[in-house]
Structure 1
Amino acid sequence: MLTPLNCQPSPQLSTMPNSQSQLASRHVAVIGAGAGGIVVARELSREGHRVVVFERNSQIGGTWVYSPEIESDPLGVNPDRTRIHSSLYKSLRTNLPRELMGVRDYPFVPREGEDRDPRRFPGHREVLKYLEDFANEFGICELVRFRTEVVFVGLELGKWRIRFRCENGAVDEETFDAVVVCVGNFSLPRVAEIPGIDEWPGEQMHSHNYRSPEPFRGKVVVVIGYSSSGTDISQELIGVAKEIHIAWKSAKTELLDTQSSINSVSLHPMIESVHKDGRVVFQDGCIVSVDVILHCTGYKYDYPFLETNGIVTVNENRVGPLYKHVFPPALAPGLSFVGLPFKAVPLPLFELQGNWVAGVLSNRIALPSKEEMLADVRAFYAALEASGKPKHLTHELGDSLPAYMNWLAATCGRPAYEEWRKEMYIATNINRLANLESFRDVWHDNELSRQAYEEFSKFTTNESSQNNSHMNV
């Protein structure tokens, strides 16, 4: 019987004897030096592979590099718009506690320094600092070609040819044994389809271009979507916007906390139509004159540089076919993707996926046959369809996160996903739903946090982790 992620043990996939004579060293390209790219680069390097990381920007960090600038098209749909990679808003803090966020042997503990943020749910600058610390600790920056944009990746005569544009504008190319795509998935906006929107006179923006609440002062705002960015931004708009109307497919009024519900915030099902006189009609029959529609509707997976002759496609945000969200069966192990799953804990996920890719490329871990992998993918898609899960949520983990992480860990010969991690993830989500305004600063899982820091003590002697300063706000 299939689990939701088809993560049952696979007898065809085994760990080979760890004999140096059997291990291979590959020339591997990693595309992107965000959190996924630098973690994968470390895993590949540890496995003995020769690694080159391509990064179009001038520093590591990817989406965690904040920019106050926004694109020329605030909605993010004009193909000729200026492009801004960052999707961070100025006040963003993590929605997961730092205990969950770090890689296992380099925990995300508080560090001393005037520019450090010791809070349990730190701001985005602290996450970038952690990524920089990680890169420095493991020598990752030495592997990165900065200001180098990949413009083509394709398989030619058994090798992966990468064409890239250098900082001076010159285009060059190089061949590799394998390519790992780690470009991140938070820069190309998805927007809601709204009947009548072409004639609607108001403003539209995607959360990708939201930086602060001030431009919305005194305005009537519709926020479409109520996941991570939708909840954060809605909270920020309280007391700034004149009215806030949240349109959400799963609208449940009990998920609004008490303060929100008495501060000109209304929750609705999705928009039915909009009109040229400025009115917005919701599916519950409510009609509102609106100034701004803010799309907090997520992002598209996009790989314009990748040419696979139709073997790998992106269809309604399903990247596939991919075995366990990583390997396209027909092109494995030479091509892989790390970081596609969402509603997950990113860095530990990158670490295990990266270790799997590294082990497969070195011949330490054997993949099933292409036919077996493709059959597994088809069974997974069939299970999603039978459960009623839409295609655009193919890569959503959520409740299946522990099963997927444990499958990866077992496959890689790594320790299982710790119970405290699972319980802390669940406790954080429950606390977040119950206390949207305060969940980052008030919590009740101190025993789980104690267990986390007991484990971290194996890897760090950081004074702040020893004196339990992580419990302070």
Structure 2
Amino acid sequence: MQHSRRVAVIGAGGAGLISARELSREGHQVVVFERNNQIGGVWVYSPEIESDPLGLDPNRTRIHSSLYKSLRTNIPRELMGVRDFPFVPREGEDRDPRRFPSHKEVLKYLEDFANEFGICKLVRFRTEVVFAGMEKLGEWRVEFRCENGDVDYDIFDAVVVCVGNFSQPRIAEIPGWPGEQVHSHNYRDPEPFRGKVVVLIGYASSGGDISQELIGVAKEIHIACRSAKTEPLDEESIISNVSFHPMIESVRKDGTVVFQDGCIVSADVILHCTGYKYNFPFLETNGTVTVDDNRVGPLFKHVFPPALAPGLSFVGLPFKVVPFVISQLQSNWIAGVLSNRIALPSKEEMLADVKAFYEELEALGKPKHRTHKLGGYMPAYCNWLAATCGCPPYEEWRKEMFVATDVNRMVNLESYRDDWHDDELIHQAYEEFSKYTTNEISQNHSN
């Protein structure tokens, strides 16, 4: 017999909106808590930056968004959308039909999604969750600060945490550096770096984008990355003011930076493109769930803490993934478990699975902070979720398009968003989309 539960969803970004829909479809009563005045989460751009640009001061002004002004997606729209609500080009003012659209277009897509499925009526805006913990067996107390500053509470059968992982900076420790330091969370445009010698740490998504923006603006750009590249991956973008180094060995009081290759640079600013920390300051589990070197655990399949399942769950923790599709599958699983449509393994079996997973990571030499990095394991993870939920398997074209995009980005960093060679995969995607949309998209999908 299926049951309807009262469920609190914390966060109205992509993961929260998708979770709200899946839970509602399953018949659950959903309340979404959102501290800001609109949906979209990290996709809501703000030109403001925090009072501490490095993000260390606990009393700093907090800005949720980590978007830079020029940001475009680094995966194509065909991959980004929810499976049954494709992210296709739409007509209208200020719409961006590009295959790798701007952050504004992603926000519009989420607004389209919320409007299509009536999600906004489930959201309590300007309501910040300050505490979520188990009141007693089977009951969760959620305390929240209302817009007028008062703190109130409500009781739920379950809590789904959807707060994202792109707002609490994770930085490289550089003791003794006297100069300016900024985390990419507080980078908006290249102008503040004009004429400066910049040491940029990290060369993943944000590091690659920002380094391209700084070319022609900064006096010199010195990129420190663990893979110790000796030249930019995009051969055509080799510029005399860009250098690659292994990581920083030390810094000196006179503002010079010494790299592990022995190179010494007199720098003006260090820009940390070093990612983010998982952070759940409101969550009280009496130590059952911890964040240890950016490993949130123990979690069965990145979602359920075995000791507290199914009352507590997380959506959207994995990275190096296609986030909306994973959020859809994870929240479908949660919804089915809460309604008794899907059975979880026993607590002991889940803990054994987590232990085996951690041992596998250790054997492969992967550090704790990469626990939730899926990358090439994403299709297998999605297929496990899909099989568990009774959903169609992860489409082969999605797998191939993800790999093709990754390869194209590595060899063509400067222009991969506008120059691609996977038209057959695009065709397969739009064949799939035709099941769900009547939009006239066949003429637009290769733009």
Match of 1:189 among 150, 153, 169: 169
Match of 2:60, as an amino acid? R
Q: Does the alignment pair 1:123 with 2:108?
A: no
**Matching residue of 2:349:** 372
Equivalent pair of 2:231/2:244 in contact (CA under 8 Å): no
The 5-angstrom pairing of residues 161-240 of structure 1 reads 161-194=141-174, 197-198=175-176, 200-240=177-217
Aligned counterparts of 1:431 and 1:100: Cα–Cα separation in 2 = 15
TM-score when scaled to structure 1? 0.94
How far is 1:411 from its partner?
0.4
**Matching residue of 1:345:** 322
Equivalent pair of 1:153/1:161 in contact (CA under 8 Å): yes
Secondary structure of the residue that 1:331 maps to in structure 2?
coil
Equivalent pair of 2:7/2:30 in contact (CA under 8 Å): yes
**Matching residue of 1:33:** 12
The 5-angstrom pairing of residues 393-404 of structure 1 reads 393-404=370-381
Aligned counterparts of 1:442 and 1:256: Cα–Cα separation in 2 = 16
Q: Does the alignment pair 1:109 with 2:68?
A: no
Equivalent pair of 2:165/2:276 in contact (CA under 8 Å): yes
Aligned counterparts of 2:381 and 2:172: Cα–Cα separation in 1 = 30
Aligned counterparts of 2:147 and 2:309: Cα–Cα separation in 1 = 31
Secondary structure of the residue that 2:218 maps to in structure 1?
coil
Equivalent pair of 1:225/1:296 in contact (CA under 8 Å): yes
How far is 1:265 from its partner?
0.6
TM-score when scaled to structure 2? 0.99
Q: Identify unmatched segments of 5+ residues in structure 2.
A: none
**Matching residue of 2:399:** 422
Q: Does the alignment pair 1:322 with 2:299?
A: yes
Equivalent pair of 1:221/1:243 in contact (CA under 8 Å): yes
Equivalent pair of 1:26/1:50 in contact (CA under 8 Å): yes
Equivalent pair of 1:255/1:434 in contact (CA under 8 Å): no
Identity of aligned residues (%): 79
Q: Deviations over 1:157-210 (max 9, x none)?
A: 22100000000011100100000000010000000012xx33x22110000000
Match of 1:347, as an amino acid? F
Aligned counterparts of 1:260 and 1:295: Cα–Cα separation in 2 = 22
**Matching residue of 1:14:** none
Equivalent pair of 1:238/1:263 in contact (CA under 8 Å): no
Equivalent pair of 1:216/1:240 in contact (CA under 8 Å): yes
Q: Deviations over 1:372-395 (max 9, x none)?
A: 000000000000001100000000
Aligned counterparts of 1:262 and 1:64: Cα–Cα separation in 2 = 32
**Matching residue of 2:32:** 53
Q: Deviations over 1:189-241 (max 9, x none)?
A: 000012xx33x221100000000000000100011000000000000000000
Match of 2:159, as an amino acid? V
The 5-angstrom pairing of residues 270-289 of structure 1 reads 270-289=247-266
How far is 1:470 from its partner?
1.7
Secondary structure of the residue that 1:466 maps to in structure 2?
coil
How far is 1:264 from its partner?
1.1
Match of 1:62, as an amino acid? G
Equivalent pair of 1:239/1:263 in contact (CA under 8 Å): no
Q: Identify unmatched segments of 5+ residues in structure 1.
A: 1-21
Match of 1:302, as an amino acid? N
Secondary structure of the residue that 1:471 maps to in structure 2?
coil
**Matching residue of 2:340:** 363
**Matching residue of 1:67:** 46
Query: 255-264 or 72-81, which moves further after superposition?
Result: 255-264
Q: Does the alignment pair 1:438 with 2:434?
A: no
Match of 2:427 among 450, 456, 462: 450
How far is 1:255 from its partner?
4.7
Equivalent pair of 2:199/2:269 in contact (CA under 8 Å): yes
Secondary structure of the residue that 1:67 maps to in structure 2?
coil
Q: 1:364 to 1:54 in 2, by over 3 A?
A: same
Match of 1:466, as an amino acid? S
**Matching residue of 1:43:** 22
Aligned counterparts of 1:90 and 1:308: Cα–Cα separation in 2 = 38
Equivalent pair of 1:326/1:353 in contact (CA under 8 Å): yes
Q: Does the alignment pair 1:466 with 2:445?
A: no
Match of 1:471, as an amino acid? S
CA RMSD of aligned residues (A): 0.8
Aligned counterparts of 1:256 and 1:287: Cα–Cα separation in 2 = 23
Q: Segments of 4+ in structure 1 off by > 3 A?
A: none
Aligned counterparts of 1:262 and 1:60: Cα–Cα separation in 2 = 40
How far is 1:254 from its partner?
5.2
**Matching residue of 1:310:** 287
